[in-house]
Structure 1
Amino acid sequence: MNNNETEVNFFLPNAPNKTGSGNVSPYKIFVVILLKEYLRKRSEDEELDDNDDKNLTSSMHYSAEYRRKFYMTLLKLTQFSDMSYKDLYNLLTGKYRISDVHLAGFEGTISLLNKLGIEILFKLSKIMDELITDTQTRNNTPLIHQSSVMGFYFRRILVYLDKMSFQDLMNLHKETVIYYEKGIRAISLGDTNIQQQIDEESLPKHKWNIKQAEIFITQQSALLENDEVKALNPKKLQKKIDEIVQTYTPLYSKAYFLSYLNNVRLRDLPNSIEALHRSFDRVNGKPGWENQDNKSHFQYSLLNLAILHTMFEQNEEAMTCLKECIMVAQENGDRVCLQLAQLWLSLLDKKNFQLCEKNIANKTEQTLVRSVSLNIQSLVKVAALSGYLPSKLFDVLIKSDILNCQHSLMNLISNCMAERAALWNLYGWHEIGSLCSQLLLNSNLKVMERTYNGEGFCQALCNVSLWLAMQGDFITSSLITTRVKERFQRYPISKNWMLVEYYVNSIQTIYLEKWSDAATACDHIYHIDPNLSVLQRANLNIARGNRSVALNLLDILLANDGDDEKLQTLYKVRAMIIQAFCMSDSNSISSESLLILNRAAVLAQEKFLNYEYSIINMHISYILLSMNMPQEALKVIKANIENILSNGGIYDKGKAMFLFNQCLIASISTKEEKIGKVKELKEQFELSITYFTKLECWRKVKAVYMYLARLYNDLGMVEERNQYAYKFRLIVEEHTNSSNENINIFY
């Protein structure tokens, strides 16, 4: 084998069938006839215009919109692999519909295939040559320019036809007639299986040319990376990859890498590794690979193998591949590969994260832009979890934004916006986080008319879905989650919407007191995020009144207190809040619960968890109120209620408003002042009831009704007492599955 055999030649691709018709197939002949009929009709229109026959040409001219649509259709037909006549006909009469006059001319020409015999191929060859070379138009230019896409297409077919012997032309004509007749039979038949069998029989054995195969591989690879929904389904895609691999040796490497991507989205580890090995084996096995330029394939094969193990959560194998990748990249002096390896090493080993300032200084080099931007985003994530100053992190993200926008890196732009929304949510500014996600969803991230549809968009949609659920709009939240399922089906991106779906289900079923469904949702969460699952199961047991079980679960969770990788600070703070609540109730207050809440408040301040800090103070206020210290409780809740009302869900809002009103009333000593204050606060109590009713959290609704009935009874307001007592009774009768135990619980 010499080096020339591996080079791609546009006119003479390496087809296995070097005798016979080669790459001239009946499908390509029909595409030529389709264009020929269009040009013939256009030439007739121009001749009529020259004769000033306005009335006749007004109904026959192709409009500018139709011409543009047809040229785009023709471009796609030249890029598609060979298809059956039935599929071609369905495209021309359906998705890429052509005019009735044009379709009639096309059908009339191909119906003469059998009647004219091989003569139609000679005429077609002559017509193509005239269209390229003759200057018969009004502008004295050829109808088809030689350097245009269709010019190349015609010239290539002319070369093939000139090289074919008379016997090969006879075979081509015979294949074309059979192709047409079987297509007509398939159109007339209604049985799908028979149609498919006829379609397969009517196609040539090798239906790809090398340009079509290259375009197909490039398009499908881009779709799998940026917009998987628009890519072919895995089974159909693998079938086409196998066709390309069997036909063209120069495309082995690219085709196998596409097969690797296809197997990854199916979570098929053995076939993914095999396809990846074959991809890089084919590259490194080419003649002349010993050159320095080709040695780089070794480190990138190791890097891709490490990424593959990471996606399947095989971190030890990934670390081994990364270390070997770094050694090979250092030997070859490949800075780009070293940067990418450093990034993945940092993701696997967060304790040794580093970002070299020298790399940021070299950001003008195109090859380093992506790796530097990825390093910045990873650094921000690790630093945020470590409690770094938020303002500094947002400044660093701006640098990543500048790099991404300057080089139109759409995937990194969306990931950066999604990470910014995640930071706002981490620090407790949920409203701003939701706005960031909506800003990303309304952004026009397009490159070459291709819309980006990657992980950043998935995270943004999940964030909006979760925010709507926290506001009690479970129906809209479910609709968004359903839409995310359709667009992002591949693991590990699918983990985002799976976690949101199960988390929202667990919250909603706890509100509805559907304990078995809530336990099932917690079990589903465990496979994605074990710590969050334990927290939700603790909430479930508190709602059921099993505080001892909840404490045992929290003790297991907080056993990993010293390891930040096993237990994030946010989960730790939330676990301490639940633990403190379990240790006290309205009848007995534990001093240890206040100590736990104070430690949680210090930790929340250190890590800038503002919303959790406000929630902690709300619990402290509740404990102070239970200890008959309403003035101190009012001061604490008054300082934090604004943050809760601005950034919390309606469940926390309802609790905060209910507690605030209780503190206001309890801080008043005289009966007359209490009566006046109760009248002022009636709308706020009703708003709390509205929040809990929207969530269908009937236990909290009964708690508010019971409190108001007792309050009005103590104040001697009999009519109001009877009104809320009656509402309490209605709730009990309408929702018989709702228990009456622990209805005064605060959590």
Structure 2
Amino acid sequence: MASPRYITPQKISLLVLMYLYLVNDDDPSPATIPVLSFILSHSISWVPSNARRRSSNARSRPSNAVSRPSPRHADASFPIETYIDVLHGYDSDMPGLSLLDVYLKHLWGMDSFHALHNLFENIGNVMLTSRASLTGEELTDFGLITETSPLGLFVRRARLEFNRLQLDDTMKIWSAFLAFRAPTAKWSERLAGIASPGVDINTTNMGLKPGDDLYEVVYGHLAQDVEKSAEVSIDDLERLLEFQLEKLQRLGCRVPDDMKNQLGNMLGSSGVVLRQSHLVKFFDAWKAGVFTTAFDQLHRYYDYAMQTREKIHYQYALLHMAILQADFNCFGEAVAAINETIATARENQDMTCLNFSLSWLSHMSKAYPKQMKGVGYMGMLGSERDGLTFLKSKAKETKMYNLLSATLLNEAKFYMSSGESIPRALECLYQASHLNIKEDIKNHGSHMLLVSTLYSRLGIAHLSSVHTDLFLHCFQAECPIDERIRASCRSALSTIPCGRYEEGLRILKTIDVSAHRSLKFHQYLLLCTGLIKLRRAICWTDWEACKHYISSLRPDSSTDPELSFMLSEAHIDYLIAREYYTDAFDAIEALTVSRKEDSSDILQRISMLLAKAELFRKVGKPARGFSIALRAASVSFKARLMPSLWSAVGLLASILNSLGEFEPAMRLLRAIIPQCLENEDHRLLGTLYSHMGDSYMGLAGTTDISTHRRLMSRLAKMKRGVRFIDKTRECHERTESIEGIRDQYVKKIILCKFHRLPEGADIVAQELAVAWEQGMEKFARH
């Protein structure tokens, strides 16, 4: 039969247990809490939810278009054995009978179709109709409930829906109930006064048995109905679909295959078309990257909404459409749709939709400035600072704490990306954290990732990795899947400066395979994996592999802006390593212009300054790079970008070495190397050690050796230089930089020949050959 509207055998059995709990349980018992918890978990349809979508990630997760609270999941098709698990083991007030025996006695006491009607009539007597009836005597009665209580609402809804049933549907419900309780026949056989299992009292009084014609006409189908007793009602299907929608929107994932098959079977057997099913299919197709199907399902959902005169959802239809268009790089259509959304939300005075739309528009203009300008968007909220101030004030006025928390995080991100006050950014982060805890906002992922970014910019790599690991171990279950993937990828990419490439690849492999079912997440993981392999190939001087990775990892407009810059930066490093200096200069200039036009992160602009200064040093024109490196160091110091500051100071020291100013270069390096040691960046540390070795060698070369004391001073400086050469080689061995290892061995060979030590030069040459063979063996294995 088609799925019932509301009444199911599960709800009837739940009413029997509720009646037993309210009427016959005079004294509290150890079973009170488990029984009441079980009743409430399966009878309450809706519970409040704070799962509002964050505006910072609005591009991938739109706001809930259905403006009602999200459901809490409960198994609507639970079998009769669930009651056995809950009630078994508790004693009742009747000697020799457990609580399960008493429940089965009442359950099997419904021995006729008339008894079913009596249940719905009698269950209404336990409710108090008004406060006026709450006399002193009734207040002491245990088990009475009010009409507005959760149990009272369930009872009222059940009685109303039962009274609306036609006779034929009521008979089907009765037959389904008999099939539902049939598995407990063996439990009820030892209870006195109970009719034969599987039939009602009327068949017993008439002497009917299985096989008789009249019995077969009435109850002959019970054996087949036992297999169908787990069918759910339309109301349960709506709750299940709403639960799936809440998960899809909050976590940003796809529907699992097994759940998709179960939903398809349930909806197919229900005989009705639920509009929520179209929205579930929309989110699933969207995350799968199937634009046509997602577009079609979205239209179908809101066509049903218009047919039911729910015109309040029109602005949410436009909002979903804008986010969908932007996710598939149709920015012109997205801007047109979001403008219509804002106009409609203002007309309908929907402040929630209006504020969310403005926040999403602000996020898009910041994340994709070039694409937004290309379609003619010139800004609606003025400058970014003015927009954040406006959104904060509106969020406070309307008490949209999710939007306020996201705006605070965006404000902290603004201070960090613009190079302004770091203390102000920390203040915004602490305010957002306090708000998340106070209002129970599930915004821990974005907050902890931003804190991790802040510590990495301050050069405190340990705290940065701690916050990332803390998020992955403690909060990833309740955070969106894109934040989990971003945290895992950040943890993997952080292994590149340390040379732990295999560990980074292993982290990416441990990500749940279900993430690859979404096209966007699959591409993101593919790019991160390729970036790690590209960096390792550059260190190994595997130029063929580098060409392959660069050609396959071309960033496009859909690539994450931060990841796109990292890929472009790796490409520039490859060109410099191959000594394609003209191409590298052109790439640096093009990337610098694009970063300046987009008003991008100050860290990216400083990285381009450092790349240009390094290029001038490589081509033998260090003086031209001095002012560039000095500018990068000044901006980095003001913005508290410590790793960039250390790189800039290292470049200044290298330029000073090339100009013969060894003592100032050494003083600069001594000031930053202890701090760089705490950052665990072996690639940068190896570079600084190399510059320090060059400074000592330069000082040794300029030292006067006219006296024995000065000669010993020269030898001491050379020994220190050799020690720093060895430290540099150790750092390059950790990062697997073959060119760096070779350069340090060559320096030692030159020193041995300078001291007329041919045997030492041969030993160093043998060590270089062994290191080269080991590197080639590792290269061959991969």
TM-score, normalization by structure 2: 0.68
Structure 1 gaps of 5+ residues are 1-14, 47-60, 183-197, 740-747
Provide the rounded CA distance (Å) in 2 between the counterparts of 1:357 and 1:162.
55
Q: Cα deviations across residues 391-419 of structure 1 (Å, max 9, x unaligned)?
A: 333333333334333322112x4313322
Matched, 1:217 2:248: no
Match of 2:493 in 1: 466
User: What RMSD, in angstroms, separates the aligned Cα atoms of the two structures?
Assistant: 5.3
Match 1:425 to one of 456, 469, 473? 456
Provide the rounded CA distance (Å) in 2 between the counterparts of 1:377 and 1:730.
52
Provide the rounded CA distance (Å) in 1 between the counterparts of 2:570 and 2:587.
10
Matched, 1:611 2:611: no
TM-superposed deviation, 1:615? 0.8
Label 1:465 to 1:245 Cα distance change in 2 as closer, same or farther (>3 A).
farther
Provide the rounded CA distance (Å) in 1 between the counterparts of 2:486 and 2:761.
48
Matched, 1:348 2:364: yes
Provide the rounded CA distance (Å) in 1 between the counterparts of 2:73 and 2:411.
43
Label 1:229 to 1:321 Cα distance change in 2 as closer, same or farther (>3 A).
closer
Label 1:545 to 1:661 Cα distance change in 2 as closer, same or farther (>3 A).
same
Match of 1:327 in 2: 343
Relative CO higher for 1 or 2, CA cutoff 8 Å, sep ≥ 6?
Answer: 2
Matched, 1:570 2:603: yes
TM-superposed deviation, 1:735? 3.5
Provide the rounded CA distance (Å) in 1 between the counterparts of 2:396 and 2:582.
60
Match of 2:284 in 1: 262
Match of 1:582 in 2: 615
Q: Cα deviations across residues 121-154 of structure 1 (Å, max 9, x unaligned)?
A: 77888899999999xxxx9978999999899889
Provide the rounded CA distance (Å) in 1 between the counterparts of 2:741 and 2:716.
23
Matched, 1:395 2:433: no
Provide the rounded CA distance (Å) in 2 between the counterparts of 1:596 and 1:283.
60
Provide the rounded CA distance (Å) in 2 between the counterparts of 1:682 and 1:90.
77
Matched, 1:524 2:553: yes
Q: Cα deviations across residues 403-448 of structure 1 (Å, max 9, x unaligned)?
A: 333322112x431332232234345554443344345446569xxx
Pairs within 5 Å for 1:214-613: 214-227=238-251, 232-233=256-257, 235-236=260-261, 239=264, 242-243=267-268, 247=272, 252=275, 254-287=276-309, 296-350=312-366, 352-353=382-383, 354-355=386-387, 357=389, 360-361=392-393, 364-365=396-397, 367-411=399-443, 413-426=444-457, 428-441=459-472, 451-486=478-513, 488-489=515-516, 490=518, 492=520, 497-522=525-550, 523-524=552-553, 526-527=555-556, 528=559, 529-560=563-594, 562-565=596-599, 568-585=601-618, 588-602=620-634, 604-605=636-637, 608-613=640-645
TM-score, normalization by structure 1: 0.71
Q: Cα deviations across residues 514-572 of structure 1 (Å, max 9, x unaligned)?
A: 3333333333252425443332122223333443443343344345364135x654334
TM-superposed deviation, 1:737? 7.2
Label 1:101 to 1:439 Cα distance change in 2 as closer, same or farther (>3 A).
closer
Label 1:382 to 1:360 Cα distance change in 2 as closer, same or farther (>3 A).
closer
Provide the rounded CA distance (Å) in 2 between the counterparts of 1:517 and 1:454.
31
Provide the rounded CA distance (Å) in 1 between the counterparts of 2:616 and 2:688.
21
Provide the rounded CA distance (Å) in 1 between the counterparts of 2:610 and 2:225.
66
Specify the code of the residue in structure 2 equivalent to 1:649. D
Provide the rounded CA distance (Å) in 1 between the counterparts of 2:639 and 2:344.
40
Provide the rounded CA distance (Å) in 2 between the counterparts of 1:32 and 1:420.
51
Match of 1:190 in 2: none
Matched, 1:633 2:655: no
Label 1:363 to 1:76 Cα distance change in 2 as closer, same or farther (>3 A).
closer
Q: Cα deviations across residues 695-747 of structure 1 (Å, max 9, x unaligned)?
A: 332332232233233334434667765543331121133334799xxxxxxxx
Verify the 8 A CA contact 2:656 2:664 in the aligned structure 1. yes
Specify the code of the residue in structure 2 equivalent to 1:508. R
Q: Cα deviations across residues 347-399 of structure 1 (Å, max 9, x unaligned)?
A: 23346443365664565545433333333333443443333333333333333
Corresponding pairs, count: 666
Verify the 8 A CA contact 2:752 2:758 in the aligned structure 1. yes
Pairs within 5 Å for 1:70-81: none
Percent of pairs identical after alignment?
15
Verify the 8 A CA contact 1:424 1:433 in the aligned structure 2. yes
Structure 2 gaps of 5+ residues are 46-71, 92-98, 127-139, 184-222, 367-378, 704-709
Provide the rounded CA distance (Å) in 1 between the counterparts of 2:569 and 2:542.
17
Label 1:461 to 1:22 Cα distance change in 2 as closer, same or farther (>3 A).
closer
Match 2:730 to one of 682, 685, 690? 690
Provide the rounded CA distance (Å) in 2 between the counterparts of 1:200 and 1:265.
38
Provide the rounded CA distance (Å) in 2 between the counterparts of 1:478 and 1:64.
52
Provide the rounded CA distance (Å) in 1 between the counterparts of 2:608 and 2:89.
70
Provide the rounded CA distance (Å) in 2 between the counterparts of 1:674 and 1:200.
98
Pairs within 5 Å for 1:136-155: none
Secondary structure of 2:233's aligned partner = coil
Label 1:305 to 1:199 Cα distance change in 2 as closer, same or farther (>3 A).
farther
TM-superposed deviation, 1:618? 1.1
Q: Cα deviations across residues 266-320 of structure 1 (Å, max 9, x unaligned)?
A: 2222332333334344334435x5xxxx6x4333332232222223332221211
Secondary structure of 1:303's aligned partner = helix
